Amino acid sequence: MLSRRRVLLGSAVGLLGAGALAACSDAPPTAAPATTPNPPAPTTTTTARVPYVGDQRAVALCAATSALAASLYSGAVLAAGDGRLGQVPGVITAFLAGAGAQHTEHAAAWNALLTAAGRPAVTGTPLTVESDRRAALGRAAAPTDLLTLAVDVEAMVGGTVTARAAEFTDPGAAALAATLAPVAAMHGATASFLLGRPTGATPSAAGAPLGLDALTT
């Protein structure tokens, strides 16, 4: 079986080409050097810098959402190992670690689309929901709480990617979304199974998809 990393990075780099993301760049053109001996003083205006526009902003949102998922899973693995949640079954820890590693690769694949288009990669987890999701992890008191968090995280990631997929004009971004959304669904179904719930159980409100306004950069 091909590694997940090869599949994801192949989608990010191979499908992008010179797609619509590059066309969305908002970088201003470089001004030609002045040739007059006494050029007039330039007029300066201050405007808010918007690093991502069009498809780029949706891609950046997906990158940040995957990065937050990876970070939450990393924290969940640490919580499972520090003893405060009691005895955490190995299958749960393995699931959390594996899902987190895949979300790290997903974030890298989204960022590859941005950097290939000449835009900066998303760093950190710049989302309005970050503090709430981390607080939910901090409230975990049993192994089942970690799995419940995972159900919501995967619903949030999968729903966000699916919603953005319908809006992409760049074929590389659309193809990557189609590749990654089923992985989030698989993770969510696995977490539900480990909880003993139906795999199609409805997540809590914390699992709602994120809109573009959730991105803070």
- At 34-60, the pLDDT tens digits run 444 454 444 444 434 457 988 999 999
Domain membership flag for residue 30: no
Tokens for 100? 């987190």
Domain membership flag for residue 187: yes
| pTM of the shown model | 0.79
Q: For 105-117, how does the pLDDT look when each residue is reduced to its tens digit (9 = 90+)? A: 999 999 999 999 9
Distance CA 152, CA 202 (A): 9
Domain membership flag for residue 160: yes
Tell me the average pLDDT across 117-133: 96
Q: For 135-159, how does the pLDDT look when each residue is reduced to its tens digit (9 = 90+)? A: 999 999 999 999 999 999 999 999 9
Please enumerate in sequence order all residues whose Cβ is within 8 A of that of 8, keeping only pairs 6 or more positions apart, or say none.
105, 106, 108, 109, 176, 179, 180
Domain membership flag for residue 110: yes
Say yes or no to pLDDT of 86 above 80.
yes
Range of the domain at 59: 51-204
Domain membership flag for residue 153: yes
Q: For 157-168, how does the pLDDT look when each residue is reduced to its tens digit (9 = 90+)? A: 999 999 999 999
Domain membership flag for residue 69: yes
3-to-102, 172, 189 alpha-carbon distances in Å: 11, 20, 21
- Give the chain's domain count: 1
Per-residue pLDDT, 201: 75
Per-residue pLDDT, 199: 77
Does an H or E element contain 217, and which? none
CATH number at residue 184: 1.20.1260.10
What angle (nearest 5°) sits at the alpha carbon of residue 197, between those of residues 70 and 209? 45
Say yes or no to pLDDT of 29 above 50.
no
Q: For 169-179, how does the pLDDT look when each residue is reduced to its tens digit (9 = 90+)? A: 999 999 999 99
Domain membership flag for residue 2: no
Per-residue pLDDT, 21: 56
Distance CA 111, CA 17 (A): 14
Say yes or no to pLDDT of 16 above 80.
no
Q: For 194-204, how does the pLDDT look when each residue is reduced to its tens digit (9 = 90+)? A: 999 987 778 89
Domain membership flag for residue 16: no
